[in-house]
Structure 1
Amino acid sequence: MSNETATAAVAWKGTVSDDEQSKAPLNVGVALILGVLLWMGPYMGVNGVLLPARVAQLVGDQKATVLALLSTSAMIVAAIANIVFGALSDLTRSRWGRRTPWIVCGAVLSGLTLLLLNVVTSVPVLVAVWCLYQLFLNAVVAPLIAVLADRVAPKNRGMITSFYALGYSVGIYGGQMVAAPFVKNVSGGIVILAIAAMVGGPLAAVLMREKSSLDMPKGEFTWKIFAQHFAFPTKNCRDYYLALVAKFLIVAAKFTVAGVQLYILTDYMKQTADGASGYLKIINLCMMVTAIGMTLIAAPVSDRIGSRKLPVVACAVFVAAGSLVPFFSANPSVMIAFALLVGIGMGMFNAVDQALNVDVLPDPDTAAKDLGIINLANTGGQVVGPVVAASVIAVWGYQGLFPISACFAIVGGILILFIKKVK
């Protein structure tokens, strides 16, 4: 074997060992902060604020029905696209690497697609454009997560995952804050967020400086290759599926309560619309501050103690405790306690979740595809939580809601304890 071939083989073994990476790759961390922030922020700003406003402009009183149609269609497209684009990036061989072409093209095309929302005039076209946006957006999402597996050694994953989580958390809340002043100028808000989306991918790619993947081993596209790169894992995947189900349950636990918090305030705690609005602002602010703060604290602690499981188990306890607080009192102030406890828990979770996911991957060569699949647990939990809440409220009332949420969180934490590959 020539020296060049040997070097290529070392460079492309699928991940980085602790011995090969003495210091945390801060350029990758900064790229992840900006890359995630600039896809999550525009997405949340449009999805949570500007899209509903645009729908109201188009259909008036039918807006709730149309929004449900948009959400359902987007979820289906996003679920498929996340897996497909993850697999395609795993298989990509280019002078710019495996992830960069998809991150850059996906960002630019997703931004351009957002601009189309300003010119659509019918519901079918609106649904088509929103689905197209989801398609391009997930060309960014899946490859960007896989960078953690490609470029970060296990001992540094807690710290670099916290960079990712910081961009994610700021994007969730910041995107809606940026969009809120544009409710009466939807077109202007969409233009600003579309530009941000287009900038994010190229900026992250420049900061990451991914190496060429042209020397990475290639293979003929056979049924075996298809099954490996486009199907759910079937080998060496016990811990992987434990992490996936645990993630689903913990996220569902949060959204079982948080997804219907407006109704909890108005129907269970008997607040007026104005009173509920005031509490919602405080609740979301508390959750944002605690989540971001704990994200920054938990990641280095996780690296220092050498444990990924402990912060996630602690998260489950905090989420369960926070969910139970409203069970004991219908005073609206207890929702602030809920927000603080759940914010602390989810901050811990966000800090190490992706690092844990990377550590339990069945095959580093299919990292983006497998992380795309496990990310479906996040989407699924957000969707299923409010559905479970509606069913429980209909049968047992609001008093039954909070124990169910707590049970979800505790079971998720217990499943994490059964993972063997990770401490």
Structure 2
Amino acid sequence: MTQIESHSASEALAAEASGTTLPAPNTTAPGEKRWSKSYMALMFVAQFAIPVATIAPGTFSLAIKVEDINPAAKNSLLAIVMTTAAVALVFVNPVVGILSDTTRSRMGRRRPWMLGGLIAGLIGYTMIGVSSSFPVVLLGWLIGYLGLVTTGSMILTHMGDKLPESQRGKVAGINGAVGQVASIAGIVLAGALVSAPVLMFVAPAVIACVGSLIFMARMDDPSTVDEPRVKVSIKGVFAHMVFDPRQHRDFAWAWISKLLVFVALYMMSIYSVYFLGSRLGLDSAAVAALTATAGGASMMFAMLGAIGSGVISDKIGRRKPLVIASGVIMAVALLVIGLMTSNLMYIIGSVAFGFASGVFGAIDQALMLDVLPDRSAAGRWVAIMQLANEIPKAIAPAAAAGIVLLAGGGDNYQAVYFAAGAMALIGGLLVLPIRSVR
């Protein structure tokens, strides 16, 4: 995910001839300033709070809630909730990204959308917590999850706006580590609150609000009320989501790589609660305890992978080897989890997967920022980039459910892990054609 520090005239001409857009040299651009440690620390607080409220509820709490409502139809109902939200997000994310580029307010461009997302998160998660009706849970997840993901995407867009290239690897690495800690912390919190359904959803939403507001108070997002007004239509928004992969070749390859790895990630997480229960004979509380134990063991390796790879990639000027290695390790880890016959095998697979996902999360984020075609329209390009995160959420539940059915239905979740491993391996290898980043 590191970027080549300089480009010769011949490299620039070759890139132009091939339709490749070369990123700027690895220096702070005019008008940009390096982020201070205190500013980054506040952003990391927000980057911790959002995954606590999105990853853990999506991989643990929601599965418990759906199973409580209708145990017999839990597989299909969980797939419906996750697929519906993911499909909605595919449409919502681009609209929010582009509209934020054209937002004119005293609060800036990104901050109003962050605040609105937090309010939606509190409302939606409260609906889920207090209801025992599947339609209400579905609606609450749509409102709450879409809102909190919007807040998170605005933080990433802010990085696209302001973060100097020379700090991207380091910041992305720490972000990856923070995300790993947050996901485990969220599951530990959910496990502790499993007997209090309302708090199991409301508490993470409150954490997201507090962490995000701390950063928003300091956020460098100046007033835009004096900037020229820009008319935007819904048709125009979605037209901006289309780009020519021949002109932005490196961005396209990075996007496809990200898409496949995230398909793998979401496929393996959808039925993890049910898989552990059926394969190892565990109840919900025991699944939460095992998940927390495995998560705690893997967390240190995930942090090592994220921070270490981010710093190393900046120093050696290379991102692609780290992305490829992470894909290979993910594939092996998913194979181990799919074949597990004991708690120990699950923990070993989780540790390996945690390390690999930490590396990928950091390096992929820096890589995508490296190949961002136009930072002056960061909202647009980050929204397109985020589609590679969000489309898998729509594909993975249906794909996982289909794989289970093909494997014989019921508790036959093993094939899902094998398919996810293949996706991770292919996704890691697809960064090879990228030219502007080594």
Normalising by the smaller structure, the TM-score range is: 0.7 to 0.9
Q: Which segment drifts farther, 71-80 or 376-385?
A: 376-385
Map residues 33-52 of structure 1 onto 2, 5 A cutoff: 33-52=44-63
Question: What are the within-5 Å matches in structure 2 for residues 294-333 of structure 1?
Answer: 294-325=305-336, 333=344
Do residues 113 (structure 1) and 124 (structure 2) align? yes
2:160·2:378 contact (CA, 8 Å) conserved in 1?
yes
Q: Which amino acid aligns with 1:412?
A: G
TM-score (norm 1): 0.80
Question: What secondary structure is seen at the aligned counterpart in 2 of 1:207?
Answer: coil
The alpha-carbon distance between structure 1 residues 28 and 308, as it changes in their structure 2 partners (threshold 3 A), is farther
Q: Evaluate the alpha carbon distance shift between residue 291 and residue 38 of structure 1 in structure 2; reply closer, same or farther with a 3 A threshold.
A: same
Q: 2:28 aligns with which of 18, 21, 31?
A: 18
In 2, the alpha carbon distance for the partners of 1:390 and 1:64 equals 7
1:253/1:319 contact within 8 Å kept = no
Residue deviations 1:222-278 (CA, integer Å, cap 9, x gap): 79954664x2223633222211111122233445555555677687xx64437x947
Q: Which letter does structure 2 place at the counterpart of 1:416?
A: V
1:70 corresponds, among 70, 73, 81, to: 81
Alpha-carbon spacing, 1:338–1:380, altered in 2? closer, same or farther (3 Å): farther
Counterpart for residue 14 of structure 2: none
Larger displacement relative to structure 2 (30-39 or 85-94): 30-39
Q: Which amino acid aligns with 2:387?
A: L
- 1:158 aligns to what? 169
Residue in structure 1 matched with residue 369 of structure 2 by the alignment: 358
Alpha-carbon separation, structure 1, partners of 2:120 and 2:420: 38
Gaps of 5+ in 2: 1-23
The amino acid of 1:181's aligned partner reads A
Q: Aligned partners of 1:356 and 1:133: how far apart in 2?
A: 29
**Does structure 1 conserve the Cα–Cα contact (< 8 Å) formed by 2:318 and 2:437?**
yes
Aligned counterpart, 1:418: 433
Q: Which amino acid aligns with 1:409?
A: A
- Highest relative contact order (Cα 8 Å, sep 6+), 1 or 2? 2
Query: Structure 1 stretch 102-111 or stretch 238-247: which is displaced more?
Result: 102-111
Residues in 1 aligned to 2:130 and 2:344: alpha-carbon distance in whole angstroms: 44
From 141, 145, 148, the equivalent of 2:156 is 145
Measure how far apart 1:418 and its partner are: 0.9
Judged with a 3 Å threshold, the aligned counterparts in structure 2 of structure 1 residues 273 and 225 are, in CA distance, closer, same or farther, namely closer
Residues 260 and 187 (structure 1), Cα distance of their counterparts in 2 relative to 1, 3 Å cut: closer
1:181 is aligned to 192
Q: 2:299 is paired with a residue of what secondary structure?
A: helix
- Asked if 1:201 is matched to 2:212, the reply is yes
User: CA RMSD, aligned part only?
Assistant: 3.7
CA distance in 2, matches of 1:400, 1:39: 31
| Residues in 1 aligned to 2:40 and 2:373: alpha-carbon distance in whole angstroms | 24
More displaced stretch, 405-414 vs 311-320: 405-414
1:85 matched to 2:96? The reply is: yes
Number of the residue aligned with 1:128: 139
2-structure distance, mates of 1:258, 1:191: 22
Q: Distance in 2 between matches of 1:158 and 1:36?
A: 16
Of the three residues 176, 179, 186, the one matched with 1:168 is 179
State the partner residue of 2:21: none
**1:273 pairs with 282, 285, 288, which one?**
282
Q: Is the 8 A contact 1:107 1:200 kept in 2?
A: no
- Tell me what 2:17 maps to: none
TM-score computed with the length of structure 2 as normaliser: 0.78
Query: Is this contact kept in 2: 1:35–1:201, CA < 8 A?
Result: yes
Alignment partner, residue 11 of structure 1 = none
Give the fraction of aligned pairs with identical amino acids, expressed as a percent: 25
Deviation at 1:156, TM superposition (A): 0.7
CA shift, 1:64, in A, is: 5.1
Superposed CA offset, 1:313-363 (max 9, x none)? 221222233345568986764444432322221111111222211222233
For the Cα contact (< 8 Å) 1:113–1:133, is it kept in 2? Answer: yes
Of 235, 244, 250, which residue of structure 2 is paired with 1:234?
Answer: 244
Look up the match of 2:5: none
Q: Which deviates further from its counterpart, 117-126 or 393-402?
A: 393-402
Alpha-carbon offset, residue 171 of structure 1: 2.3
Q: Judge which range, 396-405 or 214-223, deviates more.
A: 396-405
Q: 2:223 aligns with which of 209, 212, 228?
A: 212
Q: What per-residue deviation string (whole Å, max 9, x for no partner) do you get for residues 117-165 of structure 1?
A: 3444644333323222233223313211111111111111111222332
When residues 115 and 233 of structure 1 are mapped into structure 2, their CA distance, relative to the original with a 3 A threshold, is same
Q: Distance in 1 between matches of 2:149 and 2:168?
A: 23
Distance 1:339 1:56 in 2: 24
Q: Partners of 1:48 and 1:398 in 2: how far apart?
A: 15
SS of equivalent to 2:108 = coil
The number of aligned residues is 407
Give the stretch that moved more between structures: 297-306 or 322-331. Answer: 322-331
CA distance in 2, matches of 1:113, 1:390: 25
Q: 1:371 to 1:96 in 2, by over 3 A?
A: same
